[in-house]
Amino acid sequence: THGSQVEEDAALSCVRRALDEGITTFDTADVYANTAAETVLGKALAGERREGLEIFTKVYWPTGPGAHNDHGLSRKHIMESIDASLRRLQTDHV
């Protein structure tokens, strides 16, 4: 997992290599490495032509203090999570 099991430099290099090999689909989730995986992926994809990429993320598990609305599939949690994911991924859509 980028941001925890794989050092950032190695993760950036891995994504660069994937792009060089023609891979354009990337899957992540806000809960991976407690949001760090999205941050690293956003950094790795910065400057890439967004129309040429497919970026997937997921929501459900808590990434905050674990209060009532910090998990699940309520509209509130989904909207807050997607806004945070978009910021971390440095993009305007997933």
Catalytic residues: 32
Sign of CA dihedral 3, 91, 56, 48: negative
| Amino acid, single-letter form, for residue 23 | I
> Tokens representing 44?
């790795």
Estimate the crossing angle of helix 36-45 against helix 8-20, to 10 degrees: 50
